[in-house]
Amino acid sequence: MTTPIPRPPGLWRAIARDSRLNPEEAAARAAVTATQAELEPPTAAPPLPEDDPINWPVERRLAPYQSRIERAGWKAVLVVGEDRARLDGFHADGAAVMLTAMRGRKVYVYVLPPTGRKTPRWRAVNASTLEDFLRRRKIRGFHYPVSGCTCTKRRYPTEATAKAAIVDITIRRVVKEHGIQSERRVYRCPDDDRAWHITHIPKWYSDDEPKQKTRTR
Ligand SMILES: [Zn+2]
């Protein structure tokens, strides 16, 4: 036996046609929205630490940034190691942000412009400009960070751009333009979080842990 589908009470129908409320409905609606506001108060983003307590647990130092990334509608991924944590943020258009916190050092903030025709480059920015980039993809004041990567391989800024290169190579292999190229896997550079490489060698270590020895500038 099926239960009848509950019909919306008059008030909710009235809310649906918001512009034509009679005075009683308007009063009832105001009461309901007031109650709702009380139940779900608008949450303010936790303030960014003004002076970053460099000896706090690394995860706690990145928490306010994670909340900002998520509130801006980006996907946030936090990886926490013992003395180092990395927070990645991804936007659907290919833009990305990355923050690293190490015990005893300030939080470093990097942004990657949306993917265009050219391969974008990571830029180091001030933490205070992160919000602007998350909302408007605008970059104010930056420098290109020095990479710790000493590999002789081509660097890709993100996993997605490295994977796109693999797809390209695979297509070319299939059409036999480059018969000897056989890269199949992407990995994050052990010496630079902002560099990804591609390889034909099967996986031999985990990329999941942030590298303790990484030089993060
Ligand atoms: Zn490398």
Q: CA torsion 201→203→208→210, rounded to 10°?
A: -50
Q: Are 181 and 167 in contact (CB under 8 A)?
A: no
79 lies in some domain: yes
Residue 8: pLDDT over 80: no
Q: Number of folded domains in the chain?
A: 1
Distance 36 CA to ligand 1 centre (A): 52
pLDDT value of residue 37: 62
Structure token digits, residue 216: 């993060």
The residue-averaged pLDDT of 51-68 equals: 87
Distance 157 CA to ligand 1 centre (A): 11
32 lies in some domain: no
pLDDT value of residue 214: 42
Q: Are 101 and 84 in contact (CB under 8 A)?
A: yes
Distance 172 CA to ligand 1 centre (A): 24
Distance 197 CA to ligand 1 centre (A): 7
140 lies in some domain: yes
139 lies in some domain: yes
Distance 82 CA to ligand 1 centre (A): 23
pLDDT value of residue 83: 87
Percent of the chain's residues with pLDDT above 90: 41
138 lies in some domain: yes
pLDDT value of residue 171: 82
The residue-averaged pLDDT of 129-133 equals: 92
Distance 210 CA to ligand 1 centre (A): 14
| Alpha-carbon span 181 to 176, nearest angstrom | 10
Residue 143: pLDDT over 70: yes
pLDDT value of residue 117: 67
215 lies in some domain: no
> At 216, is the pLDDT very low, low, confident or very high (cuts 50, 70, 90)?
very low
Tell which wins on pLDDT, 32 or 8: 32
Question: Which residues of the chain form beta strands (DSSP E)?
Answer: 75-80, 84-90, 96-102, 108-112, 123-125, 185-188, 196-199
> At 215, is the pLDDT very low, low, confident or very high (cuts 50, 70, 90)?
very low
The residue-averaged pLDDT of 49-56 equals: 72
What residue numbers bound the domain in which 190 lies?
Answer: 58-199
83 lies in some domain: yes
